[in-house]
Amino acid sequence: MSEDSHHSHERKLTPRKLFYLALGSVGVVYGDIGTSPLYAFREALKPVSADGLTRFEVISLISLMIWALTIIVTLKYVLFLLRADNEGEGGTLSLLALLTKTANGHGALLMFLGLIGAALFLGDAMITPALSVLSAVEGLKLVAPDLSSYIVPISLCILVLLFAVQSRGTHTVARFFGPITAVWFLAIAAVGIYHIPDDFGILAAFNPYYAVNFLLHEGFYGVVVLGAVFLTVTGAEALYADLGHFGRRPIQWAWFALVFPALTLNYLGQGAMVLANPMTASDPFYLMFPKWALLPAVILATAATIIASQAVITGAFSLVRQAINLGFLPRMEVLFTSETNTGQIFVPSVNFILFIGVIFLVLSFRTSDALATAYGISVTGAMVVTTIMAFEFVRTNWKWSILLATVILTPLLILEMIFLGANLLKIHDGGYIPVMIATAFTVVMWTWRRGTAILTERTRHTDIPLASFISAIERKSDHSPAQVPGTAIFLTSTPDSAPAALLHNLKHNHVLHEKNVILTIKTVNKPRVHAAERYSVEKISERFSKVELNFGYTESQNVSQALAALRKSGLKFDIMSTSFYLGRRKLVPDAKSGMPYWQDRLYIALANAAANPSDYFRLPANRVVELGSHVII
């Protein structure tokens, strides 16, 4: 499919619809990157201010920030990656799902890269709320110094409330996200414009000479500074991950019309103010505001950081649902918080894990200064992974030559590797936190993928071919099972083998239903499946049929709803006289499983914690029969 056809529906957007989508993207997509001015320049100044700030250093830092926004966000994400979509969906796992269709001998490497990218994003989802809310609330120190000791408790209260309301859904407040964040961008742009006249020399920052010359002459300090400069582009991955929610054009319009100009003006204003008064380097963002505007600025900043945190949390929910459907994580309870928008979901277990992680980070680091040192590794790592996967994408999907892909993407990869190296220097100052978080998520996803493959291989040896089973069972003999009225649906992942639940039902109950359906549920490597492709039916005999239900990786796997549509197409059965048979496996660890003992135990723990399939697939609770068996793994 051509690139243009992917986005043909966007050409139908009316100006009014485009405006509202762009406004909505301002709140969801740009919340994270929009709160970076709170701390990015302040942190970049610290490594070079110990021996006093020079004019060249201040202009160079602002130049580095402007060109980081230009090269990484504008060129890579807004203009390039937003076109690398999987039928309108973006993000690491969407790109992985697309690439696995065309992987030529290196599917395992792509799989591992995709897992790392997803794990790094989940690590970012923990750090962003903690850092953003802390940095906003710290403005209270300037409004009322006596409240300094209450900054951590106030931040904790805000975060507790934020995670507590997740189960209610965001659809009721999401309509305010865009306007509030738009006001935030207008406010930071206005205060930037107000301070640029403090020293018009800051406009020299548009010249890349300052950025390059600074890095060439500062040596080690220049690399350290890059780690802080990178804070200006944190949140860029959300651009790509949220592509399916808004579409390419609204996200691009929001960036060029509001977000990019506002960020640039604010950083220029901060730089001009510090040039005019180096004492403001301690907190250049909040010191831009006159005293009368400080409290409103803190309130607006807090609202903006809450919205940024909300966006990254819901992004984590969406990513986890994709990971479950693609087979990287066990089934988890997924609740839908909107009757009309299936993208509005709540995953209780993920919400709890993120909540514990965020609270731990706030209590451990206590200030945004300390936490900022831990930030950046997960984001730079995710960007490097995305660029490597994009190299494969442009070769297989856009048919670029290896030479063209190398010429275009290698400079970008080198730049991001330099940023990653700069952030890795902060390992001992807290940078180990995102590394540990991402490693833990990667191990969990890799273990689930590997354990499931081993389990499938183990059970395949004991499977009975379905055709042989049906042939044997339908021979008339004295030992034929009794036939009972109604329909039995047996869920299985291997449709060519007799389901374990069917074998156990015959073994223990000695009955066979009048109609038997072997049901397989598959997740395809695209976001959504058209109604015409939802199912396929194969009639094997008078009593047996095979049904395959197909779902996209962003869809809810509502089997009851899909079967209702199936009945309309001609497969006759009454849902109230239908029984669903599920096989429940009791996994027993085996020293010869092929995995280390600890990984074996982890896989079994994950399997035991998985959501009940009858709940996950939305089966009628009073029509489900579970039959268990022991499997050694």
**Residue 18 within any structural domain of the chain:** no
pLDDT under 50 in the chain at which residues? Answer: 1-9
> Which strand ranges, in their side-by-side order, compose the sheet holding 535-539?
535-539, 544-552, 511-524, 482-491, 578-588, 624-632
* 218 shares a domain with 123: yes
Q: Which of 415, 450, 485 is the endpoint of a domain?
A: 450
DSSP string, 4-54: HHHTGGGGG--HHHHHHHHHHHHHHTSHHHHTGGGTHHHHHHHHHHTT---
pTM of the model: 0.85
Q: Are residues 199 and 326 in the same domain?
A: yes
Is 113 in the same domain as 262? yes
Residue 460 lies in a domain: no
What are the structure tokens assigned to 335, written together? 């609740």
Query: Measured between alpha carbons, how far is 213 from 557 in angstroms, rounded to an integer?
Result: 55
Give the CA dihedral 206, 209, 211, 215, nearest 10 degrees.
180
According to the model, what pLDDT value does residue 570 have? 66
Model pLDDT, residue 180: 93
How many structural domains does the chain have?
2
Domain annotation covers residue 17: no
Q: Is 343 a member of any domain?
A: yes
Q: Are residues 385 and 479 in the same domain?
A: no
CB 9 within 8 Å of CB 243 = no
pLDDT score recorded for residue 27: 85
- Quick check: is 566 in a domain? yes
Q: Are residues 104 and 139 both part of a single domain?
A: yes
Looking at residue 275, what is its pLDDT? 96
Helix, strand, coil percent values for the chain (each to nearest 5): 65, 10, 20
446/487 same-domain check:
no
Residue after which a domain boundary falls, among 450, 481, 496: 450
Cα 526 from Cα 174, distance rounded (Å): 27
Assess whether 561 and 503 both reside in one domain. yes
Q: Tell me: do 442 and 470 sit in the same domain.
A: no
Which residues, at least 6 apart from 387, have a Cβ–Cβ distance to it below 8 Å? 76, 409, 412, 413, 416
CATH number at residue 322: 1.20.1740.10
| Assigned domain for 79 exists | yes
Domain, as residue range, for 484: 465-632
Position 602 scores a pLDDT of 93
443 and 295 in a common domain: yes
> Which residue's structure tokens are 């950081």?
305
| 617 within some domain | yes
Domain membership of residue 458 (yes or no) is: no
Shared domain check, 327 and 188: yes
Neighbours of 560 (CB within 10 A): 13
Q: Among residues 450, 481, 511, which one ends one of the domains?
A: 450
pLDDT of amino acid 2 = 38
Q: Which of 130, 414, 106, 77 is nearest to 256 (CA)?
A: 77
265 shares its domain with 331: yes
Q: Are residues 250 and 363 in the same domain?
A: yes
